[in-house]
Each structure stands twice: as C-alpha cells, then as structure tokens.
Structure 1
Amino acid sequence: MKVAFIYQAKEPPVINGIKKPMKPGGYSDGCADMAYCLKNGGVDVITPVDDPDVYKDTDWCFPDTHEGIQLAIDKGADTLWINTVLYKGHPIDDFSGIYVVGHRTKDVEMYDDKFSTNTLLLQNELPAVTDYLVTADTVYNGEYPCVLKPIRGRGSQGVVKCDTPEEFIKARDEAFASGRYGDTMMAEEYLGGTEVTLTVFPDGTSLPFIERFDQKNGIAPYNGDVPVVKNSRVIEDTPQLTALRKSCELAVWLLGLKAVVRIDCRADKNGNFKMFDFNPKPNLTGASRPHRQDLNSLTLMAAEAAEMDYFGLLTKMLETRYLLD
C-alpha cells in the first residue's frame, strides 16, 4: 500500500445558497500529522517532495485539485486519504480504479447539511435536536435560550447561544452581514447538560466517549482557539450513555457511510441526550510532530483511551479504504 494525503486547496462551492467556511491551510496540518506518523511507522507514504520538512505541512500532502490528485497517483500512490471537504463534483469524482480513505462525495454533500441530517435522524426515531431554518428576517419563536448556527458549519465557529429574542436578532444580523455562511442558517434548542462526543467507524463500532467541559457562553470553543486537550476528557459509559452509543452507531449504519464520523451530543434540561452535530469530517490531528504536542484531536483522545496510539488509529482507518469505481 502506498498512501498519499489530500488536503483542501480552495473554498467549496455554495450549495443551495449555503456556504461552508474554509479552514486556513485546508486541513494540511492534520494531513501532515498523519503522514508523518504513518511514515515513521513504516507505511509507504507518498509526498510531493522527496525529503519533506517536518515543520512544513504542505510538504506532506497534495492539494485536492485534479492536478494535485493526479500528481499523487503519478508519484505512485494507490490509496488516497481524502482529508478535505467533499461535495458532488469534487475533483476526486474524476478518478476511478484507486483506493480511497474517506466518504463518498454524495454522502458528504448530503450529511454535512446539519439541518437535513438531524431531521432525518428524528424521522428514524433517533434522539436528535429539532432544528428550524433561519433566513435574514426570521424571528425564533421557540424556547430560549436557543442556539443559532451555520447549516454547513465547521466546529463551533459561528455558533452562538442566544438567551433572548434580542440576542438572537443581533446574532442573526451579524451572521448574515458577514456573508460567511450563505443565505440560510439554523436555530435549535439549547442543550445545557453534559456534552459528549463519540467517534464511530463505518462498521458501526465506536471509541470511548469524550466529555467536553469549560464551555464559553454555553458553547465549546473552537479548537483553533482552545486545544481540545485543555477542555475534554474521557468519560466512562453509564446506562444512559450506553443507550446513546447504540443510537449513534445505528445512525452511522442507517446512513451507510464509508468513513469515520464524530457525533456531538448533549443532555437537555431533563437529562436526555440528543445528537446535535453529525460531523463527517472529524479533526484527526495528532501530536506526532515535535511542534504539535498539544494538538491531539478528540478522536485520538478517545482512541488512546481504548489503548490505541495514533499509529494504531490511523492503520485501523486505513482498513476502511475502498475502491473508487
């Protein structure tokens, strides 16, 4: 197996008026972390340069353009780890006869829409939060506090807890004035109880739960501002969490996904857990390089609790590869 990592090189297209903001660097940091770890573990990793600099992310991965993907293949890669934001018509759709680690483009376009996904989960009697579409003149008439958030968001960026209608209108107006998220957002009930996240593999198995704490104004801060190792910890299953685990695993099976997802859940005021963020593009950074020692991802924290190191997690994920046809 010869593996090449693919990162996001440009903004994804607007889909039905909805924008997904691009992460600076396009996940090249996580690509480099993974590539460095696998290479040190003896996996044949294909890189754009012959002697990649441990401190230079893009020495370890290829851009997700047609030319970038073709270059990875030309240099010998038979497996592409697609660590980027996907959508129907993405350049990876131009290729066949090569193995990939990652979701199908059609699945990401569908399930990265948090409103549609949560609605689908509810329709299948799974515990998910109820969402409402928000446009520039929408007034949320549900119970407060509520949460205003992007439909195709990234982490907690753009997510705002609103305690009053006045706060909602202010947050709504600022979000639409920024133009960052498109012409529609979503609102949902605020879940103020214990917050956990679960990584689920496409075979329906999952890692230990991670609890999030030290939320800022009720929302877990973006990991680019506060490393998750500072506000997250492993939590043992309780009967309630075991039931939630089964629901999350069932959700992944129901959607027929091809790659790892991370599902964020939180308890409501009555203590009932609900899924609120189904994330087909979980962060996979890890402390493999010397300058990245506090940047383990939530998924890696969970893997380590299952006695799996970074290399073990990545090789398990490599086993999920499938052939593009």
Structure 2
Amino acid sequence: MLKDKCIIRVGHNGSKSSCRVQTALFQSMRPRSEQFRLFPLCRCIIPGHRSARHQRRYQDSGADIAYSLRQKGVRVLTPNPSPPDSSDQGWSFPDTEEGIYSAVQQGATHLWANTILFASHPLQTSSRLTALASDLNVVGQPPGLVENFDDKGLLNNKLRELGGFTLPRAWMVDPDNVRQIVNQVDRYPIVGKPVRGRGSHGVRVCYDAAQLQQHAEDLLAESPLIMLEEFLAGEEATITVMPPTPSRPDYWSMVPVTRFNHTDGIAPYNGVVAVTANSRVVSEDEMKDPAYNKVMRQCEGVARLIGATTPIRVDVRRFRDGSHFALFDINMKPNMTGPGRPGREDQASLTAIAAAAMGWDYGTLLQHILESAQPLDQFRNYRSPF
C-alpha cells in the first residue's frame, strides 16, 4: 500500500528529484514533496452522443479524493492552495491542455484523471506533455479504453461473442430499426437505456410495446444508438474489480455490494438517494451461494480482457430470485465519492462500502488506487484487445 506517498517529483526548477523504490512505496530522497493533480468533469462529449454530465458528482468526488489523500499524508497540488473543506470548488484543475500543463509546471508528477476520458483528450494528444510522458504518472483508464468500452452495447456484444460471460438478451436500436425491434420483443418487461449513460439517466423499465416505443424514441432524440435489454427481476449487486498493482499483480474483486429499495425497478442515481441508504455488503453467510463467486470471476475476466488500469465496477443482477447472475452494466469510471470532509459522512460510494468491509477506510482505498498509476507514455500506448 502507498503510505506517506509518493514519487519522482519534478522540482520547481524543472529538474527531477532523485528517487528510489522501497517495496510498493516510491520514496523521494528529498523531504516529502509529492504532488498530485485531480481532474474535474470532462467538458467534452463523445461525438453524436449527449450524456448526462453530473457535474457536481465529479467536483464533489474530486474534493473528497484530494482531501482524504491529504489526511493520509499525501501532498496534493490544488489550484487553490487551501480550498475550504466544505466546498467542492478549488480542489481540481481543469481537464484542458492548459489546465493539465499548469499543474505539471507547478510540480505535479501524478495526474488523477477524475473525469471521463476519450481518444482526443489532451492527456492522449497534447504534444506539450510528450517530452514528459515517461516521468508523468496517471491514475485513470486509458482514453482509448474508455472511448471503446464506455459503449455498453459494443462491450456487451464482444463479451457475448467470446463466450464465458453471462449477459441478458439485448437489442441495439437506431432510428431506422426502432419499430422493427419493438415489434420483435415478445416478452416484457424490457429496459431501455443509452449505450453511453451516466448513473440512471435515461434508464427505464417498460411494460408494454407502447411504453417501449415512446421511451426508445425519447432516447434516440439524445443519441443515435440505444440499447434494449431483458429486465432482470432478481437481486441486484455491484462488484468492484481492482487493477494490478506492485503489491497485488492481478485483477481481484472486492466483496459484492447488494442493492435494494429500487425505484420503478431501477437503482436510483446516488445524487438523488445516497447509496448508504440502499446498499450493503453481502454477508459471509450469503457468500456461501456459489453464484457470487461465479460472477466475481466473470467480472475479473472482463477487467483482464480489456486491460483496465483503475477500478471498474460491474453491476450484476439475478434473472430471478435464487438464480445465477448476469452482467448488465460495466462502468469504466465508477463514482468515487467518500466520507471525510465535513458533512460528507453519508457519501460513501459503492466501492468505498465494499472497501470498508475489508477494513479499509476511504483514504486507504484511495492509497491502493494510487498504486495503480502508470507512466503517461504507457497510458497513451493502450491497445484494444478487439
């Protein structure tokens, strides 16, 4: 675990501090002066898709991350040197080329990309960062990975083709085939949702053809391609898969977190209902059900296949009570809010809830995620498995 963190610091004069590695800890030879860079909401959208952007979710989680790492002794670089603990503002740099380069010029060596990345993002394309690419480290999924696999239809279809993964029946729908697909559906309920969505935006359970047709048309007004999916009626859970780190060099699943108190069959967005009010870890006795272990191995298989470099969160649900689970939503950028700042006691994310069951507080979870940081040049060289 990274404690008292971190690493190769670019000094204010542009020279590199000497450094050495001790176990999983990169220890600077100078007095501790580690700098990290946190991103806010991405202001850009994948062409052709309008996604709910939940700006506050990224601002508040950015503040939570920075505050909690500081509490653990990590030196965090912020645009406001002393942002108010109770405010979401002043903790994160803009995720523009100028914003990123400003953080680097001020001494940042680690960039925590608390945003949605995409292939043309400055982290991927900025020539100003290229000369520093072997010295800068990034916490985040590679932009090429996110742009490909944030598309739920693309990833789910690839998993179906490969076999070995359990998924619900699904149909990809565009303006040209919407009526034909709706007419083909022979069993309800059906879930309609965007292929690139955030939280529960646009996700609705439809109980007949008229509802489905209307909802599909509403979704297609936002995006050129949507997904219809078999409704899974059983228990819902979510599984966080952690990436390889020096201290644990393979993918592994945290304990599942079961969800309850759904609204119209769908787990509500955490900005409306805190996940602490409708989620809990699966008990040791419940874990004796082999269905949990089976789906955890499948979730790890997804992360390994796509080459995830930070945690992913996979939402799973039983086809019916007592049945096995299906994977229905694979999140490349799970919410990472957590308690610590004043008034944030109930703001644990699903991943933080799972971590707490292992004895990790929120700051310890972040330290483990920080271990997954990779050099920017490696980050840029990601290649899709498909």
Please classify the TM superposition score into its range, dividing by the shorter chain length: over 0.9
For residue 9 of structure 1, report the CA deviation from its aligned partner.
4.4
Separation in 1, partners of 2:219, 2:290 = 39
For residue 55 of structure 1, report the CA deviation from its aligned partner.
2.3
Tell whether 2:126 aligns with 1:61: no
| Offset from partner CA, 1:53-79 (integer Å, 9 cap, x none) | 112223111111111111111111100
Query: What is residue 302 of structure 1 aligned with on the other side?
Result: 354
Paired letter, 1:164:
D
| Equivalent residue runs for 1:33-72 within 5 Å | 33-72=64-103
- TM-score normalised to the size of structure 1? 0.95
Query: What is residue 370 of structure 2 aligned with on the other side?
Result: 318
Separation in 1, partners of 2:372, 2:42 = 24
Query: What is residue 111 of structure 1 aligned with on the other side?
Result: 149
For residue 26 of structure 1, report the CA deviation from its aligned partner.
6.2
Query: What is residue 252 of structure 1 aligned with on the other side?
Result: 303
- Equivalent residue of 1:71, what SS? helix
Q: Return the match for 1:263 from 314, 324, 328.
A: 314
Larger radius of gyration: 2
Query: What is residue 187 of structure 1 aligned with on the other side?
Result: 228
Query: What is residue 210 of structure 1 aligned with on the other side?
Result: 257
Paired letter, 2:46:
P
Paired letter, 2:139:
V
- Equivalent residue of 1:148, what SS? strand
Q: Return the match for 1:272 from 296, 311, 324.
A: 324
Measured on the aligned residues, the alpha-carbon RMSD in Å equals: 1.4
For residue 134 of structure 1, report the CA deviation from its aligned partner.
1.7
Query: What is residue 345 of structure 2 aligned with on the other side?
Result: 293
Query: What is residue 190 of structure 2 aligned with on the other side?
Result: 146
Tell whether 2:48 aligns with 1:4: no
- TM-score normalised to the size of structure 2? 0.80
Q: Return the match for 2:166 from 127, 138, 142.
A: 127
For residue 21 of structure 1, report the CA deviation from its aligned partner.
2.4
Tell whether 2:106 aligns with 1:75: yes
* Mean CA deviation greater in 49-58 or 85-94: 49-58
For residue 41 of structure 1, report the CA deviation from its aligned partner.
1.3
Aligned length, in residue pairs: 320
* Mean CA deviation greater in 233-242 or 314-323: 233-242
Tell whether 2:216 aligns with 1:172: yes
Separation in 1, partners of 2:71, 2:150 = 33
Separation in 2, partners of 1:295, 1:206 = 22
| Offset from partner CA, 1:153-195 (integer Å, 9 cap, x none) | 0111110000100110121233334x3xx12211010001010
| Offset from partner CA, 1:197-220 (integer Å, 9 cap, x none) | 000012311111000101111111
Separation in 1, partners of 2:263, 2:351 = 21
Tell whether 2:210 aligns with 1:159: no
Separation in 2, partners of 1:295, 1:65 = 28
Is the CA contact (8 Å cut-off) linking 1:4 and 1:46 kept in structure 2?
yes
| Offset from partner CA, 1:289-315 (integer Å, 9 cap, x none) | 112221110000000011111111000
Separation in 2, partners of 1:252, 1:323 = 19
| Offset from partner CA, 1:13-37 (integer Å, 9 cap, x none) | 32xx333221123601101001000
For residue 135 of structure 1, report the CA deviation from its aligned partner.
2.2
Is the CA contact (8 Å cut-off) linking 1:136 and 1:172 kept in structure 2?
no
Query: What is residue 220 of structure 1 aligned with on the other side?
Result: 267
For residue 10 of structure 1, report the CA deviation from its aligned partner.
1.1
Is the CA contact (8 Å cut-off) linking 1:115 and 1:186 kept in structure 2?
yes
Paired letter, 2:198:
R
Identity rate of aligned residues, in percent? Answer: 38
Query: What is residue 240 of structure 2 aligned with on the other side?
Result: 199
Is the CA contact (8 Å cut-off) linking 1:100 and 1:324 kept in structure 2?
yes
Paired letter, 1:144:
Y
Is the CA contact (8 Å cut-off) linking 1:7 and 1:26 kept in structure 2?
no
- Equivalent residue of 2:55, what SS? coil
